[in-house]
Structures are given as structure tokens and as C-alpha cells.
Structure 1
Amino acid sequence: MADLVVRSRRAVTPAGERPAAVEITGGRIVAVHEHGARIDADHDVDLGELALLPGLVDTHVHVNEPGRTEWEGFATATRAAAAGGVTAIIDMPLNSIPPTVTVDALKIKRAAADGQCHVDVGFWGGAVPGNTDDLPALHAAGVFGFKAFLADSGVPEFPPLDPDGLAGALAGVDARFVLHAEDPHHLHAAASSPAYADFLASRPPDAEHAAVATAIAAARAARARVHILHLSAADALPLIAAARADGVRVTAETCPHYLTLDAADIPAGATEFKCCPPIRDGANADRLWAALAKGLISCVVSDHSPCTPELKHRDTGDFAAAWGGIASVQLGLPVVWSAARARGHSLAEVVDWMARRPADLVGLTRKGRIAVGADADLVAFDPDATFTVDPLRLHHRNPVTPYAGRTLSGVVHTTWLRGRSVTGDEPRGRLLEREDP
């Protein structure tokens, strides 16, 4: 007797979209049957024409708790994730206090998260000046790798690495390093201004190009694994392609806002659009889409980076003063699906970019796929329904979003975590540790 069967005529499996009945016992998928198969089960759910997706995996989320919990916390961030069809997140090591740069800090972070999470949560460690000796123990404690900045992070407790510091960190531990790749020597102080063009000019594509070159050189020398976070500037793509062809272990991600927003459309003073690196023009986005389709960009993740409304300085509209970050963990799936469908991409491709590939990036072999042995993390999704984004209906702590008022395609009806629906009433998420092969 199975615990649960979920049927859909549009199940997105590793073999593509097809009718299927997914059999679940003990929180795991034990079989994937033909749609009409007779299966004894305690509960049998037929979604009809609703699509059945694997739960998405978002490897780039800033939860900020403890220390800046007024910006975001585990309860709110994970509830928003579940509402958006995301069933596993990996939390970034900065913006919380203390940052996750030692084993003791990781223990504090895990204690803050314990019992609050509506989806599964893992943790990145941080690489900062002076903590190279801490990295092996932090890796052994279960972090999924190490984040480093090559330019100012925006918070004083998480300073950047210079090229020598990056080389030392890569040599200090055999782990995946995920890098905020902007070169400080190519960044300029933004003038106080409500004009988005003034902010954009302060962070040119050259800053990303130079930092990606630095990261590739370090990865090549150390034979290390390096992942370029939130790639915005398509000008850096040829560097990544050439390095990969030469055997360098470098990968890259991008985010929904870089794929779907256009600098030319950002209104004066609309600081909810500010992020670093910045949103660029539509032609740049076209090149990012092409790289995603070819596999040169491996995945799409949110870089959910919220703050309090006051830190966005909407009262003055000053882009220079505003905190840079976009909160979108709840909206990533419909944002990307709306644009992908318009460009002729399939729902299966979107699932690959937002579920399987992020899971594979961090070694979560039981996440991001509808397959025997995988966790029964599933999403009932109506790809044809539309809705208009109302910030007051979002679950992250501070309802600020650049997508307010935008009409999107794709509605999440139900999210299951290990075969149980996530309602927001009972946090059942687990704290994840890295799974070594």
C-alpha cells in the first residue's frame, strides 16, 4: 500500500513531459507508472491537466537570520519558497550576523533555522580574508562550498578576497567556490541620482569580465571548482566557454531579473530594481538566454536578497543609497516560465534550469527530479493560468518587488515536501548537509 499517488497528464520527468502516476512511500518516489495504472494507496490525487513538476532547488538565497532577521528570516523565506514551488534552498553565508565563516557560526545559523523551515535548507560557507584555516573544518561540517566576493559585499563583516586571497582559499580546501564576480578596479562610485542609467554606468560589463577572468585563472592554477554567481554581463560568456573547452572546472548561473527585465524600462527612482551586478539591456538578456539554451549557463536561481523597505530609499529614489537586492524566491518560476514560453522554450527546459541543474550543482542527487529514489518533492502547476503580482500576497518578510503589477503565466497550486503538502501551518523542512559521493 503506497502512502500517496499523484497523477498528471503533464508530468515533467527526466525523459520529458508525459502522462504519469507517481507512487510515493516514506517520503520517496518508489515508482513512476503509466497514468492510468491501478495502485493501492492511502491517497490518490489526480491533477488532470495540471502539470506535475519536481520541486525547484534554489541554491542562491539570502535568509539573513540571525542578525538581520528584520530583513528576512527562515520562516518567511521558506514559506515564500514553498509558495513558489521551491522545495530546497541553499542559504548564503552573509547578511546574517555572524556570517557563516567558522564552524561555530554555522552552528548558530543552524540553530536559528531549526524548527522554522517549510522547505529543506542547506548552507554555503564563506571565504573571507583570514579564515583560510577554518575552511576544511567548515567543509567537513557539511556546508556545500564557499562563497567569496571579489568586490565589496555591502556589509563590513564579509570583506572581499583579492586575487592572492582567492588563490589561497582555493588551495586550502577541495570544495566548490561560488563567486560574486565584479572587479573593484572597474567599479565607480555611483552619484546620488534617481536615474537608473547613472547607477548602471557605475557597474559596467568590464567589471564582470575582469572578475570572471580572475576567477578562471585561479581555478585553472588550482585545478579547483569555481561557479560564477548571478552572471549579468553576457560579455563574459566567451571567457567561460573557452575555459570550459580547455578543461577548467567553471560553471555559471543567472537570475530571473537578468533574463526578463530591461534597463531601458526601469522608471526613475524605482529602487526596487537595484541589484549588483545590475540589470542590463534587452540585447544582453538575449545573449544570456542563448547561453542558457546551450548549457553554457547551467542554471537559473533567484539571488533572493531582501531588506527592509526603508533601505530601498523609495522616498528619495536614490539608487546610490538604496540596498542592492531583489526578492523573488516566490516568483522565479512564473517569471521565467512566462518569458521562456514566449521564446519557444518548453516547461521541461525550465524545470531542467531551475530544478535538476541546481540540484546537481550542489550534489543533491535526490532533489530536482521525478525519478525512483528521489525525495517526493513535487509541485502542481498550472502553466496556462495567469495572475497579477500583488506584493501583499507575497510571503517573504518585506513585500517589495520589481514585479509588482506585472501579469505572469503559471500558478502553483500545491507544493509537496517528501509527499506531504506544504500549507504554512507546520514547518517540516530539514537542514541539509553536503552529500559526498
Structure 2
Amino acid sequence: MTVFLLHSKRCFIENKFQEATLYIKDRCIHYIFNGQKRIDDVPFTSYGDFIIMPGIIDAHVHINEPGRTDWEGFDTATQAAAAGGITTLIEMPLNASPVTTTIDAFRQKKEAAKGKLHVNCGFYGGLIPLNAVEIEHLITFGAFGIKGFLSHSGIDEFPKVDAEHLKAVAPVLKQYDVPLLLHCELEDGEVPKVKNPKSYQEYLDSRPQRWENNAIDLALEIQKEFDIKVHIVHLSASELIEKLADRKSKTDKLSVETCPHYLFFSSEEIPDEAPIYKCAPPIREKKNNELLWDAIEKGTIDFIASDHSPAPAEIKQLGSGDFFTAWGGISGLQFTLSVMNTEFKLRGIPLEKLIPMLTQKPAEFLGLESRKGFLKKGYDADITIWDDTVEYMLTEEIINHRHKATPYLGQKLKGRVTDTFVNGCHVVHASKCINKNKGELLERSGRKVTTGNNSKRR
């Protein structure tokens, strides 16, 4: 039996900082004492003024195993996650090979993860045009949600879906109360012809806000017609924020995430021939991104997720500088907390606003709020400890991702994780991984639910 005490003057409990001592026993938070508390023969560690908070939950990660482990893989991804204070992540149905659109592929992914999970990990299933009959199986096999693309996903084995495909699976999603996650870009063909593939402005023009607007309109229609949970992943466009806010005021079945790269970078600072910044939807103009910040402060955006989507340098076209042939994805799993803390402090937004967006809100979205996302008695001892005041330069030596190329390289960031506990096990100490394979495979319950007709926010 493992028992120990963790103390800090700044524990994030009940949405505020307070001095407390956590009594950890058998992988759970057994009790929380006010102030400093010592118990005979129980190991005690005080972290002084460092923040003790619930472990971060990243609800949008691409790990790419099996099949494309050379892009990332469970071992390196979950080490990076732990080093960044992430104790739970949910992995997307692409870009593994096979993609997670069948029950057989789901089994292969679970098998591939064995012995390689340094943090807790769950999975989404994928929706493609010809797999409607698989959706219920994916849900009952433990998928936390079903993800679909309304534009080309980047790989041919995960083709885009349309309104009819969404309508076909909506009744099943409603039966199980499982969210439909949508990549919201819906092409209309009206974009400029490419003249210089190395120009970031031309890449940005090739994926206009209008495409996101088209897709969000469709997502809202599906949500309203079928009264199902719909989740907008990686929002980058600002033009329909008010429309999203209006719909959210009428239902608790619509949620929105954005990503650190849309809040930290802006298109004006991205040079040509730098596809390390390429993602889809693209990083947009500063004026647009300021409106994303407004949506965060107002609560229209529910939580922040990394959308970690790495690839080898040659696939990112770092040598050629071609935005249009480069893989679109930002590598940043390990640095969400540091990046967001840097920007929140710069803007004078309190950490009391940031921390729930990394812990409580994704836990609620995933249905894990009864065991994760809070420092509470009886909850899993998934704990992140960090110094929010330290500044450091991001160098390759710090990075645990398989590939070190990231647009954050060379940035001066504020706030760094010192210690991470996963299921009560000390996984990271002094910012280094000291224990491995302490994470667990997570599965959603997969049970049908009884739902009423009232979808208003409770």
C-alpha cells in the first residue's frame, strides 16, 4: 500500500488556491487537510509556493500508432504528456494505420498501447462514409466519442463525410449520449489559385474562415435536429462565435475547443517557407485570434486541447518550405501548460480561469468528472505540480516528443512542470520521467442512456 502526503501553499481546490495537504493512499486522494498536516510514519513533501492542481486532461491528441509509429508512438507521446503535466489524454482515430473506424482496428490500437502508457489514455472512434454499421460497436467497445471530417483529413483512408452520413449515425449517438466531434471545414471551391506554394498567406487564403463557417452551420443544424452532443474541435475562426454562444445558451449538448497555437501565434508573424506552422484549420490573423481570446473569457470556448499532430521533418517539408505538400499538424503536446500560462499572464487573465479549461472542463466533456479533473476526496491521484513563475527557453534537449521540430522551439515560456503523479504514482520529478508504464487504458461505459426532451443547460 502506497501512502504519502503532498503539501503546498497553493493547491487548486474548489476553483481557488488554498494551502492544503493531500493524503494519497492506494492511488486515490484519501483526504484533503486544510493547511500543513503531517502524520507519523507517512512520507511528507512540501512544494512551498508551487501550484498543486488536478492532472491536465488533453482531449485531442494524435499518436499515430500502430502503423505510423515513426511519426510519434505511445511511448514518446505519453512521456511528453507526463513531462507537460498531462495525466490523461484521448487519442484521435487517425493517423494510425489502420485508422480506428472498425472494431478490429480498435482492438489493434488497444493492443499497440500495452506496456507503453506513461499516462492514462482513451480513444475516439472514427466516422467515414462506409462505416455507419461500425459506430455502435466502437461505442460499446469504449470509444469516448466519434470523430468525423467535413473536409479531406489528409489521409485517403479517412475520407470526409457529409450531412447524410451525420444524420445516419445521429440516432445511435443519441442512444448512447456520445459526442460527435467534427473537424469543421466545409469546402465550397471558391479559393484563389496557388501561385507560390511557399507563401503562408496563400496557404491561409486557401482555407478561408468561410469554410469553417459552412461546417459550423451544418454542425449546429445536426445538433438541433437530433438533439445530440456535438463538439467543435480546434476552432480557429471567429466569425460565428456569437452564433455558437447563442446556441450554447439553449443547450448543454454543444461544446467548443481551441488550441494553444491559435492563441499564441498569428499569421502576421509566420514567415514564408516555414511549414512547421502548417495546420488545418490554419493559424489566422491577430485580429481574428483576439476574438478567440474574448470567447475564452466569456466561456464560449469550453476547453483547450493540444491537437498534437507530429510528423517527420521530410513529411513536414521543412527542407522544401512547401505549405501545400507539407503535412498539416502542430507538435506541442508537452507545452500546453507553459504556452497557455505565458499568454494568460501576459493578458492578465487569472489562472483560476485557465486551470479548469485544462482539467475540469475536458473531464466533464469526456464523462470523467466523477473521478478526474478535480482535487477531491476519493478522486484518482492524477496530480500536476508546477512553478508558474519560472521562465525558460524551449530547446530540443527538453522535448520528449519523437521529433523535436515544433514552432515553439526557441520561444521563451513561463511556467514549467516539476512533478507529475499518475494514479498515485510519481511519474515525473524535477521535470524528468522517473517511472514508466503507470498509465491505464480508459474506456467509456458504452451503455445506452435514457434521455428526455429538455436539452437546456442545467
TM-score (structure 2 length as normaliser):
0.92
* Equivalent in 420, 434, 437 of residue 444 of structure 2: 434
- The 8 Å contact of residues 191 and 199 in structure 1, kept in 2 or not, is answered as no
* Structure 1 residues 23 and 69, CA gap change in structure 2 (3 angstroms): same
* Structure 1 residues 40 and 356, CA gap change in structure 2 (3 angstroms): farther
- The 8 Å contact of residues 38 and 44 in structure 2, kept in 1 or not, is answered as no
| 1:318 paired residue number | 322
Residue 43 of structure 1: how far off its partner (Å): 1.6
Q: Which amino acid aligns with 1:271?
A: P
* Structure 1 residues 249 and 191, CA gap change in structure 2 (3 angstroms): farther
1:180 aligns to 2:183 (yes or no): yes
| 2:96 paired residue number | 96
Q: Which amino acid aligns with 2:185?
A: E
Q: Distance in 2 between matches of 1:221 and 1:419?
A: 43
Sequence identity of aligned pairs in percent?
38
- Greater CA drift, 284-293 or 67-76: 284-293
* Structure 1 residues 42 and 90, CA gap change in structure 2 (3 angstroms): same
| 1:28 paired residue number | 28
| 2:251 paired residue number | 247
1:71 aligns to 2:71 (yes or no): yes
Q: Which amino acid aligns with 2:387?
A: D
Residue 171 of structure 1: how far off its partner (Å): 2.5
- The 8 Å contact of residues 423 and 438 in structure 2, kept in 1 or not, is answered as no
| 1:203 paired residue number | 207
Q: Distance in 2 between matches of 1:125 and 1:43?
A: 42
The 3-state SS of whatever aligns with 1:20 is strand
Structural mapping, 1:41-120, within 5 Å? 42-120=42-120
The 3-state SS of whatever aligns with 1:110 is helix
The 3-state SS of whatever aligns with 1:42 is coil
* Equivalent in 278, 281, 289 of residue 285 of structure 1: 289
The 3-state SS of whatever aligns with 2:306 is coil
1:22-61 alpha-carbon deviations (Å, 9 max, x no partner): 1111110111111222334532110011111211000100
Q: Distance in 2 between matches of 1:52 and 1:293?
A: 23
1:253-292 alpha-carbon deviations (Å, 9 max, x no partner): 0000011101000112111110000001112121111111
| 1:362 paired residue number | 366
Q: Distance in 1 between matches of 2:238 and 2:189?
A: 16
Q: Which amino acid aligns with 2:303?
A: C
Residue 247 of structure 1: how far off its partner (Å): 3.0
- The 8 Å contact of residues 115 and 428 in structure 1, kept in 2 or not, is answered as no
Unmatched 5+ stretches in structure 2: 428-432, 450-458
Question: What is the root-mean-square deviation of aligned Cα atoms in Å?
Answer: 1.6
1:152-193 alpha-carbon deviations (Å, 9 max, x no partner): 000011011111111112133322111000012257475552
Q: Which amino acid aligns with 1:290?
A: D
Q: Which amino acid aligns with 2:6?
A: V
1:278-318 alpha-carbon deviations (Å, 9 max, x no partner): 00111212111111121110000000000111111121211
The 3-state SS of whatever aligns with 1:22 is strand
- The 8 Å contact of residues 132 and 172 in structure 1, kept in 2 or not, is answered as no
Q: Which amino acid aligns with 1:163?
A: A
Residue 364 of structure 1: how far off its partner (Å): 1.0
The 3-state SS of whatever aligns with 1:383 is strand
- The 8 Å contact of residues 65 and 73 in structure 2, kept in 1 or not, is answered as yes
Residue 246 of structure 1: how far off its partner (Å): 3.4
The 3-state SS of whatever aligns with 1:19 is strand
- The 8 Å contact of residues 190 and 320 in structure 1, kept in 2 or not, is answered as no
- The 8 Å contact of residues 426 and 434 in structure 2, kept in 1 or not, is answered as no
* Equivalent in 409, 412, 415 of residue 407 of structure 1: 412
Q: Distance in 2 between matches of 1:403 and 1:35?
A: 38
Q: Distance in 1 between matches of 2:55 and 2:189?
A: 39
Structural mapping, 1:257-268, within 5 Å? 257-268=261-272
| 1:5 paired residue number | 5
- Greater CA drift, 14-23 or 142-151: 14-23
Residue 414 of structure 1: how far off its partner (Å): 0.8
TM-score (structure 1 length as normaliser):
0.97
| 1:193 paired residue number | 197
* Equivalent in 324, 331, 334 of residue 327 of structure 1: 331
The 3-state SS of whatever aligns with 1:410 is strand
- Say how many residue pairs are matched: 437
Q: Which amino acid aligns with 2:424?
A: G
* Structure 1 residues 303 and 92, CA gap change in structure 2 (3 angstroms): same
